[in-house]
């Protein structure tokens, strides 16, 4: 799929979707506490999104490579709820209740007036120890550093390089298999946005591009493993993982964060 550059009007519509994602995070933040199930968080998010005239884009989602006959069911949740060693795509569950000291990554995607909003936040559950607090802060910093490189004329490689360098300088690792992506009317469009350095990643950043940066940073090794449900991705060593994501639009004056 070729990269589609967005007009100012289209970016404004994408920003409206992104701001509804942000409002959903603001609502959920007060509900992330010990004893709450991830299914409860999912229900709160779905009700809020639909009440504002949008649709949850993850619910019923099937990746392009899995379309047609498949043993893997469509994703059942409004949010991805990824707790502790779950890197991404955690399925909300009534059985999974948050505990003091957990970390939970909440990924939200929605469609408003035909345009997609997409972002991820990781929340500490109550008080977390210093090691987990450090992992959260470094991952936030990785996202911010990546956004700083998102200027027209730079290559996408610079985004991945600065993220990898900062994560590894702090003793952490960056997940390779799951990347940022372009979006617009579709959840996944070109380009792919790597969060690690790859000399082959020579795509120039252009005015009108809209894409996500969403580093997934592991406390231990970068290796991943997929649960039998076909969705839940965990760290290979059982240690914790943290993710933050924004959607941004590239303008002549630099990046605009649509989900800020």
At a CB cut-off of 8 Å and minimum separation 6, what does 99 contact? Answer: 34, 125
Nearest one of 250, 248, 205, 244 to 258, comparing CA atoms: 248
The pLDDT value given to residue 67:
55
Compute the radius of gyration of the chain from its Cα atoms.
17
The pLDDT value given to residue 71:
73
Phi-psi region of 96 (alpha: psi -120 to 50; beta: other; left: phi over 0): beta
Burial of 148 (0-12, 13-18, 19+ CB in 10 A): middle
Gap between the Cα atoms of 114 and 159, Å rounded: 28
The pLDDT value given to residue 72:
83
How far the first Cα of the chain sits from its last, in Å, is 27
Would you write out the chain's pLDDT as a tens digit for each of its 260 residues?
689 999 999 999 999 999 999 999 999 999 999 999 999 999 999 999 999 999 999 999 988 766 555 678 999 999 999 999 999 999 999 999 999 999 999 999 999 999 999 999 999 999 999 999 999 999 999 999 999 999 999 999 999 999 999 999 999 999 999 999 999 999 999 999 999 999 999 999 999 999 999 999 999 999 999 999 999 999 999 999 999 999 999 999 999 999 99
The pLDDT value given to residue 69:
54
Using alpha carbons only, what angle is made at residue 106 by residues 104 and 215, rounded to the nearest 5 degrees? Answer: 90
Cα 206 to chain centroid, rounded: 22
Q: What is the model's pTM?
A: 0.96
The pLDDT value given to residue 63:
80
Tokens 């989900």 belong to 259
């Amino acid at each position: 799929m070729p990269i589609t550059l967005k007009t100012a009007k289209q970016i404004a519509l994408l920003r409206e979707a992104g701001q509804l994602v942000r409002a959903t995070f603001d609502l959920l933040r007060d509900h992330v506490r010990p004893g709450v199930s991830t299914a409860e968080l999912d229900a709160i998010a779905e009700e809020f999104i639909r009440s504002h005239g949008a649709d949850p884009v993850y619910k019923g989602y099937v990746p392009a490579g899995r379309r047609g006959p498949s043993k893997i069911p469509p994703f059942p949740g409004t949010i991805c709820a990824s707790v502790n060693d779950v890197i991404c795509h955690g399925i909300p569950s009534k059985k999974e209740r948050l505990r003091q000291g957990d970390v939970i990554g909440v990924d939200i995607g929605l469609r408003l007036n035909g345009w997609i909003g997409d972002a991820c936040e990781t929340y500490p559950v109550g008080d977390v120890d210093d090691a987990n607090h450090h992992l959260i802060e470094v991952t936030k910093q990785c996202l911010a550093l990546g956004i700083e490189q998102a200027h027209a004329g730079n290559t996408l490689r610079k985004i991945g390089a600065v993220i990898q360098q900062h994560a590894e300088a702090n003793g952490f690792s960056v997940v390779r298999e799951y990347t940022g992506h372009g979006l617009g009317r579709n959840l996944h469009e070109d380009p792919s946005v790597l969060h690690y350095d790859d000399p082959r990643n020579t795509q120039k950043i252009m005015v009108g591009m809209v894409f996500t940066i969403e580093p997934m940073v592991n406390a231990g090794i970068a290796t991943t493993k997929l649960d039998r449900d076909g969705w839940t991705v965990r760290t290979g060593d059982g240690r914790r993982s943290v993710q933050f994501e924004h959607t941004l639009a590239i303008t002549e004056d630099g990046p605009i964060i649509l989900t800020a």
